[in-house]
Amino acid sequence: MGKVNGKSEAQNAGLDLERELPAGDDGDDTTVAEVTGESAAAESEVQKLKAELDSLRDRLARAQAEFDNARKRAAKEQQEFRDYAVADAIKSLLPAMDSLERALQVKADAAELRSGVELIQKQLLAALAKLSVNPIVSNGQPFDPRYHEAIEMVETTDAPDHQVIEELQRGYRFKDRLLRPAMVKVAKNPGK
């Protein structure tokens, strides 16, 4: 190895390296203090995000509990409303029940018994009307499959074809809703 200006080539190469890089610079602009500061900032950010996540989880749990309580409260209120409606309906039927009990206690002839039963029927119909339950008028009406259930077709020339000639069981509507269709006999007029 040769010497240049009294220094070895290795020493000269090292000097050249020192000239290219400023003192204390290893090619990275970050210092140990900066790395430590960034690490602390990142750790602080992670802690902040964890706290926010815990807060959101807590809010979610509370919202779910509030929703569950509201659902239970609504179901309870609905049941109480149903119970109240049924109790009110039963209360309107009690006078007719009282009349039936009094009629059964009285010793009377057939005519008096019949008039008593008719009175009770009127009371029951009035109570049902108060509850918006109305009977379906069938006798003499044209057969309507929406409101009538044909039990029997009777051949006759006394009534028009497809007319209700006898009501076997009365049908009822609640407002516009069918509760029970009327069971009827329907005329079948072979001449028409």
* Residues in the chain where the model's pLDDT stays below 70: 1-35, 192
Q: Six-digit token pair at 159?
A: 């009534």
DSSP letters along 7-47, please? EEHHHHHHHHHHHHS-TT--S-S--HHHHHHHHHHHHHHHH
Q: Please write the tens of the pLDDT for every residue from 43-85.
A: 899 999 999 999 999 999 999 999 999 999 999 999 999 888 8
DSSP secondary structure letter of residue 126 = H
Residues in the chain: 192
pLDDT for position 17 = 45
Contacts of 46 (CB under 8 A, 6+ apart): none
Domain boundaries, the chain: 133-192
Kindly tell me the number of DSSP H helices and DSSP E strands found in the chain: 3, 8
Residue among 173, 174, 178, 181 nearest 151 (CA): 181
| Residues 143 and 164 sit within 8 Å (Cβ to Cβ) | yes
Name the pTM for this structure. 0.55
pLDDT for position 60 = 97
pLDDT for position 21 = 45
pLDDT for position 98 = 85
- Reported in sequence order, the residue ranges of 34-147 that DSSP labels E, i.e. its strands, are 133-135
Q: Which CATH architecture has domain 133-192?
A: Roll (2.30)
